[in-house]
C-alpha cells in the first residue's frame, strides 16, 4: 500500500506534524493582505524563527547558524540509525524525524507509506545544508513499513496513478534505517508475478511483539502444505486462483479425525508473498495459540475486478458460500461443517467483504475478521468511479446491520489510529469502523474491537490478523492442550 494523494510543495517553512487527524500544523501568516511598512519589515526580519519541533534538529540548526557543519550530526545518525525518535509531549506519542542526506542536485524528498495527508509527507531542506528532514508526531507503539522517494519526476498534468508510478520508479528503502527490510522472502515460492519492493520498517517503543512473525519462526516449526489451483465460478462467470493451506498436524493420526476450522482470506497474493501467512499459521499452531486449522486464500481475477467484487457484491458473497465452500469441503472432508468454525477475513475492501459475507450467509460464515475495513463504502460514493456522487451517503453495510435482526455472528474488528478521514466529515476508516462497532454492540453482537498504532499497511495487518485468529479460535486451542 502507498500514499497516493497529490503532494503539493509546502508553502511555509513549518514542518508537517501528524497527530490524530493528520492535520498540517503551522501559521498562515504568509497570506497577509496589507503591505508592511519598512519598520515592520525590519522587525519581522529580526524576529527569531520559530523553534523546530524536534530538539535534536533545533540544536543542529543552531550549530549551522553559528557557522558549524553537519559532519558530527551525520556521524551520530550513522551510529544510532534513522529515523530519529524523541519523546513526544506525553506517553501517547513520539517525535519521529525522517532524514535524507542530500546533494547539490537534490530537488525533493518525501516519505511513501500507508498513511495519508492532504499535503504529502514532504521533507524540507535545513538551512541550505545537506540535511533534509520531516518531523512527525506519531502514536506510541507505531509499526509501519515505508520507503523514501528522492527526486521523483512527475509528468505535467499527471493523474493519481501516473504520479504513483513515477514515485515508485525511484522509491527505495531508507539508507539510514538499520532494521531488516520487509518483506522477507516468503517460506514458499512466490505466487505473484509482480515484484514486492523492499521497505524499511519503523517500530516505535511499545510496538506489538509478534512471536508468530515469519522472521521469528524457528526452522523446527512443523510446516503445513500449500496447494495452488484454479476455480471457476458460474455465478460470476469467471475463474480465479485459489491457494489451500493445510496444517502439518492434519496428517497425524491424533488430530486427523478432528474437524479443522477454516480461515477464508482475501487478497491471496499479498497475504502469501508479503505477509507469508502460511508461516504465520505454522507458528500460531506450533505455539498453541490457535488450533490446527485450514485456510483458503482467494484472489480476484484482475486488479480492476477487486474493486467490483469485494465491496458488498451479492454475487461474490454467493460465490463464496454456494460455490467455493461446497467445492472445498468435497475436496477436504476433514473441514468442520459448522459456521462457528469458519472465519472469513480480509483487509480494506476485504474487511468490508468479510462483514458482507457474514451478513449475507451467516449459516456459512460464523466469524468475521475485519482489518481496516472500508466501511465508509456506499454504492455511489466511491471516488474515481464513473458514477461517483460527491454527496452520496456511505456506510451502507452499517445501515444494513442496524436494520436487520441480530445474526449468529462474532466479530473481530481493528482499525489504525492513522486512518482518519482527511476531509473532517468523519468518513475515514477509523471513524466508520468505530461507528459499525457501536451499531453491532447495540444490536447485541459479540464484538472484539481494537485500534492499532499504524495505517493501511500489510506490515501492521500481519499482527492484527494473528491476534484476530487467537481471539476467535483461541478457546479451541486451549481446549486441545
Which sign does the torsion angle of CA 164, 166, 167, 173 carry?
Answer: positive
- What kind and span of H or E run contains 79? helix 71-80
Q: Do domains 29-203 and 214-480 have the same CATH topology?
A: no
Report, in angstroms and rounded to the nearest whole number, the Rg of the chain calculated over CA atoms.
Answer: 25
pLDDT tens sequence for the chain (481 residues): 444 333 333 333 333 333 333 333 333 333 334 444 454 445 455 567 788 999 999 999 999 999 999 999 999 999 999 999 999 999 999 999 999 999 999 999 999 999 988 778 999 999 999 999 999 999 999 999 999 999 998 888 888 788 888 989 999 999 999 999 999 999 999 999 888 899 999 999 999 999 888 555 566 789 999 999 999 999 999 999 999 999 997 754 344 557 999 999 999 999 999 999 999 999 999 999 999 999 999 999 999 999 999 999 999 999 999 999 999 999 999 999 999 999 999 999 999 999 999 999 999 999 999 999 999 999 877 776 677 777 778 899 999 999 999 999 999 999 999 998 766 666 899 999 999 999 999 999 999 999 999 999 999 999 999 999 999 998 776 666 5
Q: Partners of 110 in the beta sheet?
A: 122, 149
Cα(172)–Cα(161) distance, rounded to whole angstroms?
18
Check: CB of residue 242 under 8 Å from CB of residue 298. Answer: yes
Cα(472)–Cα(469) distance, rounded to whole angstroms?
5
Cα(161)–Cα(166) distance, rounded to whole angstroms?
9
Q: Which residue has the cell 501467512?
A: 277
Which candidate, 351, 345, 405, places its Cα nearest to that of 375?
351
Q: How far is CA 139 from CA 91, 254, 448, in A?
A: 9, 46, 21
* Lookup: cell for 332: 477436504
Distance of CA 11 to the CA centre of its chain: 29
Q: What region does 283 belong to: left with phi over 0, alpha with psi -120 to 50, or beta?
A: alpha
Q: What region does 26 belong to: left with phi over 0, alpha with psi -120 to 50, or beta?
A: left
Domain extents in the chain: 29-203, 214-480
Check: CB of residue 215 under 8 Å from CB of residue 184. Answer: yes
* Lookup: cell for 438: 457501536
Q: Tell me which fold the domain 29-203 belongs to.
A: Immunoglobulin-like (2.60.40)
First to last CA, the chain: 38
pLDDT at 60: 97
**CATH value of 214-480 in 1.20.1440.230, 3.40.47.10, 3.30.500.10, 3.40.50.1820:** 3.40.50.1820
Number of other residues whose CB lies within 10 A of the CB of residue 324: 19
431, burial (CB in 10 Å: exposed 0-12, middle 13-18, buried 19+): middle
Q: Is 26 helix (H, G, I), strand (E, B) or coil?
A: coil
Cis, bond preceding 364 (omega within 30 deg of 0): no
Amino acid at each position: 500500500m502507498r500514499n497516493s494523494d497529490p503532494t503539493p510543495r509546502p508553502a511555509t517553512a513549518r514542518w508537517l506534524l501528524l497527530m490524530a487527524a493528520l492535520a498540517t500544523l503551522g501559521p498562515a501568516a504568509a497570506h497577509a493582505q496589507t503591505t508592511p511598512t519598512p519598520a515592520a519589515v525590519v522587525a519581522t526580519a529580526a524576529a527569531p524563527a520559530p523553534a523546530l519541533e524536534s530538539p535534536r534538529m533545533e540544536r543542529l540548526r543552531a550549530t549551522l547558524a553559528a557557522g558549524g557543519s553537519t559532519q558530527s550530526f551525520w556521524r551520530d545518525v550513522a551510529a544510532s540509525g534513522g529515523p530519529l525518535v524523541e519523546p513526544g509531549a506525553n506517553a501517547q506519542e513520539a517525535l519521529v524525524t525522517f532524514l535524507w542526506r542530500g546533494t547539490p542536485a537534490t530537488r525533493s524528498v518525501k516519505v511513501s507509506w500507508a498513511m495519508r495527508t492532504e499535503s504529502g509527507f514532504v521533507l524540507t531542506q535545513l538551512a541550505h545544508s545537506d540535511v533534509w528532514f520531516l518531523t512527525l508526531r506519531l502514536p506510541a507503539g507505531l509499526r509501519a513499513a515505508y520507503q523514501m522517494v528522492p527526486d521523483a519526476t512527475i509528468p505535467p498534468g499527471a493523474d493519481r496513478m501516473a504520479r504513483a508510478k513515477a514515485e515508485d520508479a525511484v522509491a527505495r528503502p531508507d539508507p539510514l534505517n538499520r532494521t531488516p527490510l520487509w518483506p522477507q522472502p516468503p517460506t514458499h515460492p512466490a505466487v505473484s508475478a509482480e515484484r514486492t519492493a523492499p521497505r524499511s520498517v519503523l517500530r516505535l517503543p511499545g510496538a506489538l511483539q509478534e512471536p508468530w512473525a515469519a522472521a521469528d519462526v524457528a526452522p523446527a516449526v512443523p510446516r503445513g502444505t500449500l496447494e495452488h489451483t484454479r476455480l471457476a465460478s458460474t455465478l460470476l462467470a469467471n475463474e480465479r486462483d485459489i491457494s489451500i493451506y493445510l496444517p502439518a498436524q492434519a496428517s497425524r493420526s491424533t488430530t486427523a479425525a478432528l474437524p479443522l476450522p477454516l480461515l477464508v482470506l482475501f487478497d491471496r497474493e499479498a497475504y502469501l508473498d508479503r505477509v507469508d501467512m502460511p508461516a504465520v499459521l505454522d507458528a500460531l499452531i506450533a505455539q498453541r495459540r490457535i488450533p490446527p486449522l485450514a485456510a483458503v486464500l482467494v484472489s480476484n481475477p484482475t486488479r480492476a475486478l477487486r474493486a467490483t467484487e469485494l465491496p458488498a457484491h451479492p454475487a461474490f458473497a454467493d460465490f463464496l458460500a454456494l460455490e467455493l465452500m461446497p467445492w472445498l469441503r468435497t475436496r477436504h472432508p476433514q473441514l468442520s461443517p459448522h459456521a462457528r468454525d469458519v472465519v472469513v477475513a480480509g483487509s480494506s475492501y476485504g474487511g468490508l467483504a468479510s462483514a458482507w459475507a457474514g451478513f449475507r450467509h451467516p449459516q456459512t460464515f460464523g466469524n468475521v475478521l475485519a482489518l481496516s475495513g472500508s466501511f465508509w463504502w456506499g454504492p455511489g460514493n466511491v471516488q474515481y468511479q464513473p458514477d461517483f456522487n460527491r454527496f452520496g451517503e456511505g456506510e451502507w453495510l452499517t445501515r444494513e446491520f442496524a436494520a436487520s435482526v441480530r445474526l449468529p455472528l462474532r466479530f473481530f474488528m481493528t482499525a489504525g489510529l492513522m486512518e482518519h478521514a482527511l476531509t473532517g466529515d468523519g468518513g475515514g476508516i477509523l471513524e466508520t469502523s468505530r461507528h459499525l462497532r457501536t451499531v453491532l454492540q447495540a444490536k447485541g453482537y459479540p464484538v472484539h474491537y481494537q485500534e492499532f498504532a499504524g495505517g493501511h499497511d500489510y506490515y501492521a495487518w500481519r499482527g492484527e490478523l494473528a491476534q484476530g485468529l487467537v481471539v476467535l479460535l483461541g478457546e479451541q486451542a486451549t481446549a486441545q492442550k
